Structure formats: C-alpha cells, structure tokens
C-alpha cells in the first residue's frame, strides 16, 4: 500500500473526526424528533416533517448557503454565537461538523422513526400497567426494541457525514487541517493538473472506510435483532 | 398502440427533435478564461458579438482548473490564463496553437478589506505584518498551490518575509473571485486579490498595494486551442483591437497586446 502524505492523513483523520462528532451530537436529537414524529400527533406535524427532510431534497450547496447566512461570521446566529459564547463555525471543523450533521439528519430520523413505529404499542402499554412511567417505558422498552433501527440510522448518518461535500465547501470552504475533508481534498486534487494519483489514493481510502462502516452496521444490526427476537 | 404508450412515444419524438435543434444554431466560440476576467471579458465578448454576429460562451474558473479541463479534452476554442505557467503547461501538452499565442493583459496585486473595515493606507514593504492585520480572523487568498492569484500572493508574501506568519492563517478559495467574496461577505477581515477584482466589488476597499518587485508581473496570455473553430482567429484579432483595449482598460487592466 503506497505511503500517504501527511496532508492526506490529515484529511482522513479530519473526515473521521467530523463525521463521528456530527453523528454523535445529532443522535439524541434524531431519536427525540423521530420519537415525536412516530408517536405524537399535533398541528404542524407535516411542516416539521417537511423541514426535517429539507436538507435531503435541497441541493447541498443551497443548504450550505443557508447555513452560511445563519451561522457565518456575520450570520443571523453566527454573530451572536461568536460574540457571547465564543463558538465560531466559519472556517472551523465545528462548522464542517454542523454542515455534515444537518445533511445527515434526515437519513437518521427516517431510519429511527421507522423502527420506533415498528415497536408494538402493546409492550409499552404492558409496561405502563406494571407501573413504569413514560420515561422508564421509553428507556427500557422503546429504545432497546428500536435499537437495530437506531444503529442503522446512526451508521447511515455517519456515512452521509463522511461523504458530505457541497454544503461543507459552501459553508466553511476548504481549509487543510480544519475543513478539508476527504471529499474536499479529492476535489482540490482533481482541479490541479498532476493531482490524479493522490486523488485516487484518497478515493480508495474513502471506499474502504465506507465499506467497513456498512459491514459493521450490518453486523451490529443483526446482532441487536437477534437479541430482541431471542434467536 | 395503447393511449399512454402513444403519448410517451410522442414526447420521446419531441425530445429527440429538440436535441437535434442545436445543430442548426449559429456558430459559437467557447473561451476558457481566468475568473478575474469575468466582467471585463463579458463586455468585450458582447462587443464582439455585436460587431460580428458570432456568439461567445465564456467559462470562468481558476486557470489551473481550466488547464486541467483542457487536458481532459474539454472543447474550448480559446484559452486566457492569468499566468504564463498554465499557458506553458497546456502548450507543453500540445493543446494550443503556439503561433496564435500572445500576451493580452497585465494586472496588479492588492490587499483588500471589507468596506467598513478600520484599516486603510497599509504600507506594504519588507517585514509587512499581514498576520497581525488579520487579527483573530483569516487572510483570504486563492489556492496557493495552483491558482495564479494564490501563486502571486504566496510569492509576494515570501519575498516580503511575511509568509511564515501568514501561512497558518490563510483561508484558501478555489479562485480569485471566491476570495473576493470571502472579504465582501465579512468571512475574513482581509484578502489578497487583483486590483481589477477589488474595483468591481463595492463591498470591499483596497487598503494596500503590493510592491511590483515582490511578485512576478501578472500576465494574461491568450491562445487558440488546437481544436479551435475557424472563427477563433477573428475573435483573437478582436481582442487585439482598440475596442477591446478600451473595455479592458476601463476595468483597470493594463493592456499589453500590440
């Protein structure tokens, strides 16, 4: 296996870091929103659903641009965040994580919602009659039964975050070490004559990481499924 | 045929007919031009179309990206690069006709800041502390590895002894107009672009000019590609004419063609 240059390692490490953080941070929100969409009914539910799925349907560059307007240095929230909380997204890996998280969120919510909807309400009712409050029911019945779907949603979100390009490059551009993920690095290399060999190496790495993520998710999903169904 | 199938067949036939329509369109010249030429060349092309009736389609991007596209077989008739390096590159690959090549324009490198910035009249000389001017923000430049504007900026900063301090604070964009946009949007406090770019963007102001001897002179060579259509010679001739000269000089380029 040909040696990777430090810049390439930086891009790989940064991609993994951004994808992990994006998935980890959005997971609690994903589970919460999925649960609300699956179990609750309220006016405006269709609108909430539409807004959640918007990043999936909009061109990624549009989502990136909206993030820029909202969270850029002079953005609606970005200026306030920078001034009062010291949180800066512009040109930082945190911005890349935000962009990836937003783009991957609909996929996560979709998968988790389906698995929560598949949890038989009778089990939840049974637990309630045995004295469990709503929170306990959620933690001990709904969550474990929905676990294969949650894992699938998380891995899907991770893979999407890993491959995110359009929104990231529009929002936080392409800074080696901070926001130059594998996709951005490959893009930069293909724009420069003579960069094809390096680009190819990164492409191979991206494929390997994605394959590993998918195989691991399949394994975990099956294992969780086996436990739930007592095989 | 059943009704839905007939409708589908009708649509397919229409689509096919529309696809062949371009074959009857008027002649169009495709020019690949450096991003910094956008406004000026658009005007020059409009004047050419008015004079000759031939339409010009311009594709603007970093000269390095355009060179790469030409290498991959992109169908362009003319190429205008922002430095000699990328023109030499495509010449080496036998992608342009060397006898059509000539130097068209020159430009200058300037330091810009947002129009509301407190900076003004920055003296740019040896030991120029650009990192300090950026404060806790970044310095917007074009990609310093390949894009001409970035290459010139790096050369200037290196010559002035400011490169080491500036390098970790760079925000590299994929072409000089994206660099301009960074500063215009306030994403970075300062940036390094061409004088002509700063002039067309009302949201930025020039706060300093790099000394001419700190970077190789900015030269825009033009050439026809080896696959150029016959009308390209007339187009290149137009670019060497007084009408084009007036347009380019209006935007602040220095006109080098004789």
Look at residue B57 and give its three-state secondary structure. Answer: strand
pLDDT band at B24 (very low <50, low <70, confident <90, very high): very low
**Whole-number Å distance between alpha carbons of A83 and A75:** 12
pLDDT of residue A231: 47
Average pLDDT over chain B reads 90
Residues constituting chain B: 258
Residue B20: predicted pLDDT? 56
Q: Which residues of B touch A174 (CB under 8 A)?
A: 172-174
Chain A residues in contact with B172 by the CB 8 A cut-off are 173-176
> 3-class SS at B87?
helix
Query: Which residue in the block uniquely carries the two structure tokens 């589908």?
Result: B8
- Distance in angstroms (rounded) separating the CA atoms of residues A16 and A227: 29
Q: Note whether B31 and B56 are within 8 A (CB).
A: yes
Average the pLDDT over A12-34 and give the result.
95
pLDDT at position B4 over 80: no
pLDDT band at B19 (very low <50, low <70, confident <90, very high): low
By the 8 A CB rule, do B128 and B162 touch?
yes
Residue B187: its chain A contacts at CB < 8 A? Answer: 72-74, 90-91
Q: Shortest CB distance from A173 goes to which of B64, B65, B171?
A: B171
For B109-209, the fitting CATH number among 3.40.190.10, 3.30.450.40, 3.40.120.10, 3.40.1350.10 is: 3.40.190.10
Domains and CATH numbers, chain A: 6-228 (1.10.3720.10)
Identify which of A175, A190, A193 has the shortest CB distance to residue B171.
A175
φ, ψ for residue A76 (rounded to 5)?
-55, -50
Q: Is the dihedral of CA A161, A165, A168, A171 positive or negative?
A: negative
Q: Which two tokens stand for residue B82?
A: 């922002």
Please tell me which residue, B14 or A196, carries the higher pLDDT value.
Answer: A196
Q: What is the pLDDT of residue B113?
A: 95
Interface contact flag, A188 B143, Cβ < 8 Å? yes
Q: Is B205 helix (H, G, I), strand (E, B) or coil?
A: strand
Nearest to A107 by CA among A144, A164, A53: A53
- How many Å apart are CA A202 and CA A8, to the nearest integer? 7
Please, which residues have CB within 8 angstroms of residue B186's CB and are 6 or more apart in sequence? A72, A73, A74, B114
Which residue of B lies nearest to A71 if distances are taken between CA atoms? B187
ipTM score: 0.70
Instruction: Return the pLDDT at A177.
Output: 78
Q: Residue range A191-216: average pLDDT?
A: 86
Rounded to a whole number of angstroms, the CA Rg of chain B reads 22
Contacts of A175 in chain B (CB under 8 A): 138, 170-172
- DSSP secondary structure letters along B125-141: -TT--HHHHHTTS-EEE
Query: Domain B3-106+219-255: which topology?
Result: D-Maltodextrin-Binding Protein; domain 2 (3.40.190)
Q: Which of B113, B174, B183 to mutate to test the interface with A (most CBs of A within 10 A)?
A: B174
A124-182 pLDDT, tens digit each = 899 889 988 888 888 988 998 888 889 888 988 998 998 899 898 888 888 877 888 99
Q: Do B171 and A73 touch (CB under 8 A)?
A: no
Same fold across B3-106+219-255 and B109-209: yes
Minimum-distance CB partner of B65 among A73, A176, A191: A191
Across the range B61-77, mean pLDDT stands at: 91
Sketch the domain layout of chain B as residue ranges: 3-106+219-255, 109-209
Give this prediction's pTM: 0.80
**8 Å CB contact between A96 and A168:** yes
CA–CA dist B237, B102 (Å, integer): 11
Torsions phi, psi for A43 (to 5 deg):
-65, 135
Query: Residue-wise over A42-70: b if at least 16 C-beta within 10 A, else e?
Result: eeeeeeeeeebeebbebebeebbbbbbee
DSSP B225: B
Give yes or no for residue A65 having a pLDDT over 50. yes
What residues contact B91, with CB distance under 8 A and at least 6 apart? B98, B101, B223
Which of B146, B170, B188 has the CB atom closest to A192's CB atom? Answer: B146
């Amino acid at each position: 296996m040909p040696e990777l240059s430090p810049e390439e390692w930086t891009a790989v490490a940064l991609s993994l870091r951004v994808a992990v953080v994006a998935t980890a941070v959005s997971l609690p929100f994903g589970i919460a929103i999925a649960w609300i969409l699956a179990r609750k009914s309220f006016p405006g539910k269709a609108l909430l659903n539409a807004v959640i799925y918007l990043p999936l349907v909009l061109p990624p560059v549009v989502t990136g641009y909206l993030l820029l307007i909202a969270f850029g240095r002079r953005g609606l929230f970005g200026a306030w965040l920078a001034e009062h909380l010291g949180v800066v997204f512009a040109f930082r890996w945190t911005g890349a994580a935000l962009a990836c998280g937003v783009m991957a969120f609909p996929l996560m919510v979709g998968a988790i919602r389906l698995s929560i909807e598949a949890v038989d309400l009778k089990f939840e009712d049974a637990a309630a009659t045995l004295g469990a409050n709503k929170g306990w029911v959620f933690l001990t019945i709904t969550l474990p039964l929905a676990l294969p779907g949650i894992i699938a949603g998380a891995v899907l979100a991770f893979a999407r975050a890993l491959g995110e390009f359009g929104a990231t490059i529009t929002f936080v551009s392409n800074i080696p070490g901070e926001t130059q993920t594998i996709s951005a690095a490959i893009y930069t290399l293909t724009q420069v004559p003579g960069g094809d060999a390096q680009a190819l190496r990164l492409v191979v790495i991206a494929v390997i990481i994605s394959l590993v993520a998918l195989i691991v998710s399949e394994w975990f999903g099956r294992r969780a499924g086996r436990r739930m169904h007592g095989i | 045929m059943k009704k839905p199938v007939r409708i589908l067949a009708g649509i397919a036939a229409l689509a096919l007919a529309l696809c062949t329509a371009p074959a009857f369109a008027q002649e169009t010249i495709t020019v690949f031009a450096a991003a910094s030429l956008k406004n000026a060349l658009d005007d020059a092309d409009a004047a050419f179309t008015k004079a000759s009736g031939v339409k010009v389609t311009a594709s603007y991007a970093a000269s390095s990206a355009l060179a790469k596209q030409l290498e991959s077989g992109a169908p362009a008739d003319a190429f205008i690069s922002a430095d000699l390096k990328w023109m030499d590159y495509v010449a080496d690959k036998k992608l342009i006709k060397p006898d059509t090549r000539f130097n068209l324009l020159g430009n200058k490198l300037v330091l810009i800041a947002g129009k509301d910035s407190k900076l003004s009249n920055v003296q740019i000389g040896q030991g120029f502390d650009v990192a300090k001017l950026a404060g806790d923000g970044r310095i917007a430049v074009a990609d310093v590895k390949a894009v001409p504007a970035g290459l010139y900026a790096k050369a200037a900063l290196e010559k002035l002894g400011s490169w080491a301090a500036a390098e970790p604070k760079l925000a590299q964009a994929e072409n000089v107009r994206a660099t301009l946009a960074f500063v215009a949007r306030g994403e970075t406090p300062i940036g390094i672009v061409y004088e002509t770019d700063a002039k067309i963007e009302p949201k930025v102001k020039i706060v300093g000019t790099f000394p001419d001897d700190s970077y190789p002179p900015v030269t825009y060579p033009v050439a026809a590609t080896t696959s150029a259509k016959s009308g390209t010679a007339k187009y290149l001739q137009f670019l060497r004419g007084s009408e084009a000269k007036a347009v380019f000089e209006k935007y602040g380029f220095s006109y080098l063609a004789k």
